[in-house]
A and B are shown apart, each in its own frame.
Chain A
Amino acid sequence: MIEKKHLEELGKGSLLAFGEIFNGKLHPSAIEVLTPLKELGLKLDKKVVLVCLIDNLKSFQDLEVLKKSIADEVWMVCHQELVHFKDDLYAEVLIEIVKKTSPYGLFFPATSLGCALAPRIAGKLNLGLCAHVNHLEVEDGKIVMARPTYGENIIAKLISKTTPVMATLSIGAFSPSYGEREPKFFEVAMPEEFTWASKIKVRNFKPSAKQPNRLSTAKVVVAGGRGLKSKENFKKLFELAQLLKAEVGATRPVCYEGWVEEDRMIGVSGVTVRPKVYIGFGISGALQHTVGMENSEFIVAVNTDKEAPLVKMAHLALIGDASKVLDLLIKKLKK
């Protein structure tokens, strides 16, 4: 049994993180975002709380995962109207929680749901919100957030003048960690007068036919950029990926060109990877991409430009035509 608490009884001034649950399943980002927040929490002497919204505790399939998490507390809000994700209603629930518990920080994974919710809350409460943050630290008692910016090789450090400090955190940018002490679980009793209304009605849901790719946890990543010159050449990466049991990644420009779906994008607004081996074909290495792969254990760059940033950060750089090298590599591996 989980202890029920009214909003007023919950601890104030904590660091809250949105624990994304969809159809009873916890999104892996819920565990990832706790890692940097726990560090902040220790430095700032704040509790770290994961806030989850769900229709019914019984439909939650990942309670065991949460029990191992490093959150100090888990707050579960349960109501039948939360069975489907509705932007306006989910935001209102979180706004009520913010109003009553005056958190010091409020963080979201930069998933599609997180990116839909966080700005609604920021707008309603007139709060600053930083997007796709991939590094958090404390300077002079303040939370400083870093993110690559302007799509170029520039990193910006930001602060927020408003409280709670709000940010969406890049997916895969932080490694999951687990604790020894089980968090305290509370079921949140929302105020009587709270209205569970929404202007959005969910009429139908068709789950994705294709399995989500495993890019963010892949041990081997083969990625391609504009240097591959065409969609046809890019597609050969899937052949190579099969031979190496790898996942295919891409840079932003080729996703925008339509060579591959955007869920393969590595970098600022895409995923962060940390494989044992990363091979970049025809990728020059704009910061927008490299922040998403710089922690790879072994980096190989195949590029014609000796001065390209990715060539410089690579453990092994092969100076040559990426598509020719790719063709030949596939041919030899098939033998």
Chain B
Amino acid sequence: MGIETTDDERGLSEAGVPPVRRIVVDGETPPVRVAHRIGNGASPGLDEPFAVEQDFEAVWVEERMRIESLGVRFGQKEAVKDVSLQVNSGEVLALIGPSGCGKTTLLRSLNKLVDLTPTAIRSGRILLDDEDTAYMDDTLLRKKVGMLFQQPNPFPMTIFDNVAYGLRERGSKRPGKKALEPIVVDALERAGLWDEVSDNLNHPALSLSGGQQQRLCIARSLAVRPEVLLLDEPCSALDPISTAIIEDTIVNLKDEIAIVIVTHNLQQAERIADKVAFMYLGDLVEYGPATQVFNAPMAERTKDYVRGDFG
């Protein structure tokens, strides 16, 4: 057993990206101990590349979900073709690719939300903690695999009721407000919204700004303590400052929760992702560490896309 140090500095300094070093302990099947950068303190400015501290912290990277030759078709149209991927806790996985490439469909397959579309037919397997999700109860799966949508969608209720919603409606017995309060406060704190709303938990959630609404939705998902969090272009409807705050929140969360994010914004993927999957017309073209996909992509298509030649 030896420690292999991969140096990802190749080509990075020209791009102005601070180097990221990985220490991979090999000889061990997952869980694999990987050291990777932390630096959640300051939110990276949007124009400048990573302002990440040069620090190392050991984090367990552990497989949460495994996608095995997943295919999704809507009637005659194949949206996702034979995709195999792995979703690990302690990492952010970004799905990138041009519009209509099937990344959102893939994401919605992970919590079986795609099944709501009557014409959708799924093939292949998706495992959550080695259990086939096809045989899991939808509600159980969705408690473990939370999701955030493109448009902030807080319910038309108070802020408190929004965060407490998932816990209140999960079983036949509704917990009281007293029991819920610490969980609601904790969820709002982790979503980075507590300071802004602590005085008005009883205000309508729809009176919040767009960015606050999206963080409220994060808090709502966190309150049910998911293992995996799916994010479907969570920042596309938000301004740059809200985006930066949400990216910060995401990076802060990844140590506890496996995160999969669909994004059109390559800079965003570069800023927050550890692994990147590039999809094109339903095919998974490339999957690997973010630095590799962005700086030394293997496939021509990926190269064109990340260079901005099409998309």
Q: Do A and B come from one complex?
A: no
Residues in B lying within 8 Å of A, measured CB to CB: none
Residues in A lying within 8 Å of B, measured CB to CB: none
